[in-house]
Amino acid sequence: MGLLTRRLIPRKVRRLAHPARAAKRATKKALIPKTVRKAMWGVHVAANPVSSAGYALERSIFSKPKKSKGRAVVYRHGSCQAKPRTPEAAQRCRNR
């Protein structure tokens, strides 16, 4: 037991309780590319469906609901991958 009660403490608070762990996490984050980390997480989710379900529950409780007032307007230009949200930003983009 204790799994659910731990889940009910906001993640931020839990992080603050373990500064060493947070530092370790930060270095890991800096060293491992995002794509690799995503893949690692995918493996974790496949290996631990129960803990992922816990995370899903946690997210549903603590994450702010997404503002979904229609699709965000983006000002694309050409074949550029950037998605500027203002025409000014699109003008300023150097990838053209």
Name the site residues for Zn ion (rule: CB under 5 A).
80, 82, 93, 95
Q: How far apart are CA 3 and CA 1, in angstroms?
A: 5
Residue 96 CB, nearest distance to Zn ion (Å)? 6
State which residue, 60 or 81, has the beta carbon closest to Zn ion: 81
Residue 24 CB, nearest distance to Zn ion (Å)? 36
Amino acid at 76: R
Report whether 15 contacts 29 (CB < 8 A): no
Amino acid at 33: P
State which residue, 25 or 96, has the beta carbon closest to Zn ion: 96
Hey, how many other C-beta atoms are within 10 angstroms of the C-beta on 24?
11
State which residue, 63 or 95, has the beta carbon closest to Zn ion: 95
Residue 95 CB, nearest distance to Zn ion (Å)? 4
